[in-house]
Amino acid sequence: MKDISSGSLLAAFLFMTVPLWLSYKQQLGISKDIVIASIRAFVQLMGIGYLITLVFSIKSPVVFTLLILLMIIIAARTCARRGGVFHHSFRIAFFAIITAEIVSVIIWILFDIVSYEAQYILPMSGMIIGSSMVAVSLTFDRLKREFDSTKEMIMGKLALGATNRQASQDLIEAEVKASLIPNVGAMKVIGLVQLPGMMTGAIIAGASPVIAVKYQLVILLTIFGNAAITSIMVSFLTYPAFF
């Protein structure tokens, strides 16, 4: 695969001049955020690139497993900031994300989809953990908003003798359905409107398009399952905090 020179890589930042100019012209006040986000993305991605190169050279399952665990901890801490109104939000987020990751890796290994090697598990886990982090964060947000909007209905059910679980049933159902809408929508148009990242990257790297599609399907279906797993787990572990 062709390497990209440092100069060419820096030239890619020319794409950021458009939003910066629009922010300045329209006085949107997001120029600072754009610059900081761009610099952080550059530093973090280059750093993780060199770190993964080191992990690949060591070739130790323990090392890249610890790296995955660190990624899960960072993801859980990020989710905890969104779920600060709930007790033990970090523990809930960590438990949901690590459960989704373990289930995913077990299925990959059990059905011989990939071997437990850093080359496969690390990048695939990164996508899974990232999608799980988004699902957990959105679940925290939606649960709070849904509860605020349906509080009177829930109190009415409690007054009629319903348990906390029964009174929260509609809340949980609405949350789980909402969490799956983006994934369902993406699956309907994938390959027609969008060529997903893993597939595109594999093709650019020289892999057969059919093989690239197979790997993308594994990731796509895993992400969909994880969205359901994490959303359900977070919903059931979080709703008691409302009572």
Hey, what are 206's tokens? 């020289």
Question: Do the beta carbons of residue 98 and residue 68 sit within 8 Å?
Answer: no
Position 125 scores a pLDDT of 93
Series of mean pLDDT values for 10-residue runs along the chain (243 residues): 75 82 81 87 88 85 92 93 80 94 94 90 91 90 83 86 86 82 79 73 81 88 90 89 80
**Buried-state track 4-34, b at ≥16 Cβ within 10 A, e below 16:** eeeeeeeeeeeeeeeeeeebeeeeeeeeeeb
C-alpha distances in angstroms, 78 versus 28, 37, 70, 178, 214? 26, 16, 12, 21, 31
Q: What is the pTM of this model?
A: 0.82
pLDDT at 69: 95
Q: How high is the pLDDT of residue 1?
A: 64
pLDDT at 110: 93
φ and ψ of 29, to 5 deg: 75, 25
